[in-house]
Amino acid sequence: MTAFENLMAFQHTTEALSMVAERLGWDQETVMPRGATEQRSEEMAAMEGVLHARRTDPRLADWLANAEAPDAAGARAISLIRHSFLRSAAVPATLAEEIARTTSLAQGIWAEARAKNDVAHFLPTLKRVVALRREEGEAMAAAGVGGGDTYDALIDGYEPGASAASLAAMFSAMRPRLVALREAVLGAPTPKALSRNFDAEGQLALARRAATAFGYDWTRGRLDLAVHPFSSGGVNDSRITTRVVENEPFNCLYSTIHEVGHSSYELAIDAAHHFTPLGHGVSMGVHESQSRIYENQLGRSRAFTSWLFTQMQAQFGDIGLADADAFYAAVNAVRPGYIRTEADELQYNLHVMLRFDLERAMIGGSLEVEDIEEAWNTRFLADFGFAVDKPAHGVLQDVHWSVGAIGYFATYSLGNVYAGCLNRAMRQALPDLDASLAEGSARPAAAWLRENVQRYGSLLTPTEVITNACGHAPTEEPLLDYLEGKFRELYAL
């Protein structure tokens, strides 16, 4: 076998094992008995030890030095394996295993703290997670990852090519127009909201119909419940989760549609890339572009909500809203709120900016973990104009820090920016899209995204994917123009 063949055969097994590890994480968040948490943490640490050993295997260096790519896809695969080798080799195996062990335990501790609104119960664990991730970031930065910056090295694991500086510049460009539009909208009359309970069984049935409307492949996916919705897996097994709050059915519906976007991306990748470095989404920003465009530009559109209104009535009877226009207004209502995942499109990015600044400060050492609740509450009051009422609505609401996903949050807004660009290009390519959406079919949009974004997997860089699909480099303008057009029309501004 050639060096390239040896490299790809070795990587095939590494990719398969990483999927097994991911499945363990899915199991922990969905069906694992609560008493198994400590056992699972040891299992996850053991798996991470095996994976880290493979990602730093000395043979990789020899194969990478001698591999000759047969084509562009092969060259890209070599580049990605080389980068993974650089990142992994910089991190001691003991550290990689300890991060896996600690974050596995931390998920359960976070869930308990969130349920009890007890920040003190979580802080020692969070301090440990932050310290471990900082140590990891420092090790990678010393090897040249992220341009030598600790936080940028962590960002690199989620959005290659991005940096704290570039993301901060994006936020600076977005904030003025978002804040001005929010002030105008909040000064207008608020649409009528749903005001009754909707049973869990009915919500899940409707969520399944919505997923089907987007073409979700139920032969290769499934829907389960989790504390914090997520998707998991790839190749031919990509699963989604949602959560049910009986007086907030949009939470279940739009969490499901959001995760369908993630899962559909993984399931659409060209089969030739399976079990290679190209066989999964290229970055979390591009991944979020798929979930956010499914959820918002498509799922919250006037056309799709007109169909969803009929489905709500069929499932639950009278829902207290007079017509499809009132339902569209309720789905897209801009109201003060604490929860990022439940935030309207207009305010969502402001939630992300808060988290980005706080975690950057924690990693940089200018914010002590013990002070995170006070810092969160102070910043939230300044940004949103009202005080956090309880930790579950504040610093304990997100799972990301407990699982060690530091450097991740900004990719949500980057995904929104990418989605804004993709939506404009898609609408130009599919002028009759709204007619399909009004009939309960988002399949034409899903097919366009599959063809222009999803099938490539990691063959192209994040910027190349968006530029290739849209005909121009990513920019904030299409998203901001879309938001202003939608909410000025909705609120008659």
Tens digits of residue pLDDT in 23-75: 999 999 999 998 999 999 999 989 999 999 999 999 999 999 999 999 999 99
Residue 383 has pLDDT above 90, yes or no: yes
Which tens digits make up the pLDDT trace of 99-135?
999 999 998 999 999 999 999 999 999 999 999 999 9
Cβ neighbourhood burial of 249 (10 Å; 0-12, 13-18, 19+): buried
Residue 448 has pLDDT above 90, yes or no: yes
Q: What long-range pairs does 25-29 form, CB within 8 A, spacing at least 24?
A: 25/104, 25/232, 26/232, 26/233, 26/239, 28/104, 28/107, 29/107, 29/226, 29/227, 29/228, 29/230, 29/241
How does 329-360 read in b/e, with b if 16+ C-beta sit within 10 Å?
bbbbbbeeebebbbbbbbbbbbbbbbbbbbbb
The whole-number pLDDT of residue 338 equals 95
* CB of 261 closer than 8 Å to CB of 291: yes
Q: What is the mean pLDDT of residues 162-172?
A: 97
The whole-number pLDDT of residue 341 equals 84
- What does the alpha-carbon distance between residue 424 and residue 134 come to, in Å, rounded to a whole number? 39
For a pLDDT cut of 70, what percent of the chain falls above it? 100
Per-residue pLDDT band at 227 (split at 50, 70, 90):
confident
259 in active site = yes
Per-residue pLDDT band at 342 (split at 50, 70, 90):
confident
When the pLDDT of each residue in the chain is averaged and rounded to a whole number, the result is 96
The whole-number pLDDT of residue 86 equals 95
Which among 85, 97, 78 has a CA at the least distance from the CA of 58? 85
Number of Cβ within 10 Å of residue 245's Cβ equals 14
What is the side-by-side strand order in the sheet with 231-234? 223-225, 237-242, 231-234
Looking at 259, 266, 295, 476, which residue is catalytic?
A: 259
Residue 228 has pLDDT above 90, yes or no: no
Q: What is the mean pLDDT of residues 208-213?
A: 98
Residue 379 has pLDDT above 90, yes or no: yes
Q: What is the mean pLDDT of residues 254-271?
A: 97
DSSP at 298: I
Per-residue pLDDT band at 18 (split at 50, 70, 90):
very high
Which among 17, 24, 92 has a CA at the least distance from the CA of 51? 17
Beta bridge partners of 238: 233
The whole-number pLDDT of residue 269 equals 98
Residue 200 has pLDDT above 90, yes or no: yes
